[in-house]
Every structure is written in structure tokens, then in C-alpha cells.
């Protein structure tokens, strides 16, 4: 497997970098967008697969990254003294204070990454310190993303409302209509994906990575060895949020629009499904699952728009019941290297009670 990886990863990287040569503009744009989402999916693999925390609200961090850069792009497209079109329609005559810093590209970039990460730290700190986990944590993240989309839609004069933000012309001096900019963006996306992939792999190989799995499988045992698991969980949750924000940023640059419908409850759940399909403990599986499900969605929903939701539901059920390790599990079977620790079923923390070792002292009778 290790030798296979040494060949497979550079080959995949070369193949992806050469895509502009052999793919048409339409499919290249799709691939770029899905690879950006692959970064978010790797974040979910870290948080869910390795730390056992099911995040059902990654759309929130994705959206903060996306809106951060979109606000900047919106302002760049304006003539001096002008305010965005939707603000004029909604009766505003001056730029709201929240928008002013986004005139600067640097501030927008930094903000798009720092704000979601800081929010994740704050949320994680509040919840993990109080030992909120499992289903409660998942529901809270879900509620957060619902609140965020509701807020965006209700504040139309300041956020663009349901329609979101679009009509960008250029980013950092490059025209977004120019095909060369699109190729450049694609290459940046691939390189960032590769960089984050290897960074995440390194992270998992450290003691920190081992402790994440230790906490996932026996939080109390780890606690009773003198560790405080909360900071570990906060840290990995923030890493997942940062990766979601990077994905949101790249996604918006690639596609040229962001709206609440792209970051809401349903997209947040779909994100988890990509990772489940790919294999939640596998970083490459998460990316592959994202590509597979999204290309599938593009092809299926263009011919049968109503069918897609049923299909993704069926896919999730299939993975949970017969393919707990997703695509990565199939790959492992094919390379005939059965993984020693393979579990019989997918561990979905949502349906698991918090682990409580040794609480029943009645297991053996006197």
C-alpha cells in the first residue's frame, strides 16, 4: 500500500495539473469547484473520521469564507462612490460599516480565513469544555448553520438576501472572465489541495493524530491518563473549519457566486455524505467521494432533477449498512491488504451514547 501511494499520489497530482490540457472549459470549471470542496471534505474526514466529532454545519464555515471573499469581489466591481446594486434596490445610500474593511483584498482574505476559524474555536471551546458531544454537538452545529442562512436571507439590504452575491468582474487584478484566470485559479486550487492533503497526513502521523483517535475511541481512558481532551477537539474542529473556509473562498472564486442555498442545512449534510461515500477515515477517499458524488449530481440532476435527493439518501444508507469504510474500504480490499482495525459497521457518533467505561460494576456476580 505504501509503495502504491508513492506512485499514486504524484500521478494523481500530475493528472490533475494537466487537466486544463485535456478537459474542456465547462468540465474544468466543475473539477475546480469540486476539488475546492474536496478540501472541505478532508476537513470533515479529520474531524469526523479521526476525532469522532460529527459536524453537520460545515456550511457555516464554508459560507463565512465564501462571503468574506465575495464581499470583496462585489466591492472591487464597483465604480468609485458606488454601492452594490442590491443595496440600492433596498434603499441604502451608503456602504454599511461592516462592508468597509472588505475594500481591502488582504483584509478580506485574512478575514475569510480567521473569522471562521475563530468562530470554530469559540464554539468548540464552549461545547467541548462542557463535554457536549455526539448527537448534541451535531445538532448544535446544524442549528448554527440554519441560523446563519436565516440571518443572511432576512438581512437582504446588507447581505444580498436569498439571491446571494454575484456579478464579480475581477479578483486581485485578474479578470474573472478571462479563461487564463480560470486556469490559474484551477492550478492554485489543485496545489492548495495537495498542500493541505500532505499537511493533514503529517498531522495524523503525529502524537496529536494518535491522541485524536485515542479520544475518539476512549475519551474517558484518555482523560484518566491525565489528558484534557477538550483542547484536542477544539484544535481539530478549528482545523476542519479553516479547511471549510479555504474551500468556500476557492469555490466562490471558481464559480463567481455565493448564496444561502449553497451553505444551508441540506448542503451541510451532503458534505458529510461525500465523506461517508469516500471513507471517513481516508483523506484521499474524502476527495474522491466529493468528486464522485458531485459529478454524479451534475449528470443526474441535469437529466432527472427530482431524483437526486433520493439517490444521495440511498447512497448514504448503502454506505452506512454495507460499506462502512466507503470507497477507501473497497480500494483496500482490491489491494488485498485487509486493514487490521476494520470495524464491522460505520460508527456514526449520532447514534452512539457517550462512552462510559466501567460504570456498571455488576457485570460479574459474586
**Region binding other proteins by CB under 8 A among candidate stretches 13-21, 143-151, 186-194, 203-211:** 203-211
If one asks whether residue 362 binds other proteins (CB under 8 A), the answer comes out as yes
If one asks whether residue 227 binds other proteins (CB under 8 A), the answer comes out as yes
61-88 burial, b if ≥16 CB within 10 A, otherwise e? bbbbbbbbbbbbbbbbbeeeeebbebbe
If one asks whether residue 93 binds other proteins (CB under 8 A), the answer comes out as no
Of 333-352, binders to other proteins (CB under 8 A) are: 340-341
Radius of gyration (Cα) for the chain, nearest Å? Answer: 21
If one asks whether residue 178 binds other proteins (CB under 8 A), the answer comes out as no
If one asks whether residue 306 binds other proteins (CB under 8 A), the answer comes out as no
| Binder among 90, 163, 220, 301 for other proteins (CB under 8 A) | 220
The answer to whether 263 and 59 are in contact (CB under 8 A) is: yes
CB of 336 to other proteins, least distance (A): 19
| Binder among 214, 273, 292, 320 for other proteins (CB under 8 A) | 214
Please identify, using beta-carbon distances, which residue of 351 and 358 lies nearer to other proteins: 358
| Binder among 10, 217, 310, 330 for other proteins (CB under 8 A) | 217
Alpha-carbon distance values, 345 to 25, 136, 176, 310, 322 (Å): 41, 22, 46, 23, 8
**Region binding other proteins by CB under 8 A among candidate stretches 15-23, 159-167, 207-215, 315-323:** 207-215
The answer to whether 251 and 62 are in contact (CB under 8 A) is: yes
Distance, CA of 157 to CA of 29 (rounded, Å)? 30
User: φ and ψ at 132, to 5 degrees?
Assistant: -80, 125
Please identify, using beta-carbon distances, which residue of 197 and 232 lies nearer to other proteins: 232
Instruction: Count other Cβ atoms within 10 Å, centred on residue 93.
Output: 7
Please identify, using beta-carbon distances, which residue of 50 and 74 lies nearer to other proteins: 50
Percentages of the chain per state (helix, strand, coil), in multiples of 5 = 70, 0, 25
Residue 139, SS3 per DSSP: helix
Query: Applying CB under 8 A, which residues contact other proteins?
Result: 202-203, 205-208, 210-211, 213-214, 216-218, 220-228, 231-232, 235, 340-341, 357-359, 361-366
Amino acid at each position: 500500500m505504501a509503495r502504491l501511494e508513492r506512485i499514486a499520489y504524484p500521478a494523481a497530482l500530475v493528472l490533475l495539473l494537466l487537466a486544463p490540457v485535456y478537459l474542456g472549459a465547462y468540465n474544468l470549471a466543475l473539477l475546480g469547484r469540486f476539488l475546492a470542496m474536496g478540501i472541505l471534505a478532508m476537513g470533515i474526514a479529520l474531524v469526523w473520521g479521526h476525532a469522532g466529532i460529527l459536524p453537520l454545519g460545515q456550511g457555516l464555515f464554508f459560507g463565512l469564507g465564501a462571503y468574506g471573499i465575495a464581499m470583496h469581489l462585489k466591492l472591487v466591481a464597483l465604480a468609485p462612490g458606488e454601492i452594490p446594486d442590491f443595496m440600492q434596490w433596498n434603499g441604502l445610500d451608503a456602504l454599511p460599516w461592516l462592508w468597509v474593511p472588505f475594500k481591502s483584498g488582504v483584509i478580506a482574505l485574512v478575514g475569510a480565513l480567521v473569522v471562521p476559524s475563530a468562530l470554530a474555536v469559540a464554539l468548540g471551546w464552549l461545547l467541548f469544555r462542557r463535554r457536549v458531544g455526539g448527537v448534541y454537538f451535531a445538532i448544535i452545529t446544524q442549528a448554527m448553520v440554519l441560523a446563519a442562512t436565516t440571518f443572511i436571507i432576512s438581512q437582504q439590504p446588507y447581505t444580498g438576501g436569498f439571491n446571494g452575491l454575484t456579478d464579480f468582474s475581477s479578483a486581485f487584478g485578474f479578470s474573472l472572465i478571462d479563461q487564463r484566470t480560470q486556469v490559474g485559479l484551477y492550478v492554485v486550487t489543485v496545489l492548495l489541495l495537495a498542500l493541505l492533503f500532505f499537511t493533514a497526513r503529517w498531522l495524523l502521523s503525529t502524537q496529536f493524530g494518535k491522541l485524536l483517535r485515542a479520544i475518539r475511541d476512549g475519551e474517558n481512558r484518555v482523560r484518566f491518563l491525565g489528558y484534557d481532551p477538550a483542547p484536542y477537539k477544539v484544535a481539530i474542529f478549528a482545523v476542519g473549519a479553516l479547511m471549510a473556509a479555504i474551500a468556500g473562498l476557492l469555490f466562490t472564486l471558481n464559480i463567481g457566486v455565493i448564496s444561502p442555498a449553497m451553505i444551508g442545512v441540506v448542503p451541510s449534510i451532503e458534505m458529510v455524505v461525500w465523506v461517508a461515500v469516500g471513507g471517513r477515515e481516508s483523506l484521499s477517499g474524502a476527495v474522491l467521494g466529493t468528486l464522485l458524488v458531485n459529478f454524479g449530481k451534475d449528470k443526474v440532476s441535469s437529466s432527472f432533477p427530482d431524483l437526486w435527493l433520493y439517490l444521495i439518501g440511498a447512497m448514504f444508507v448503502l454506505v452506512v449498512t454495507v460499506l462502512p469504510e466507503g470507497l477507501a474500504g473497497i480500494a483496500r480490499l482490491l489491494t488485498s491488504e485487509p486493514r487490521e482495525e476494520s470495524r464491522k459497521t460505520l460508527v456514526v457518533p449520532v447514534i452512539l451514547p457517550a462512552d462510559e467505561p466501567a460504570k456498571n460494576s455488576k457485570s460479574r456476580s459474586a
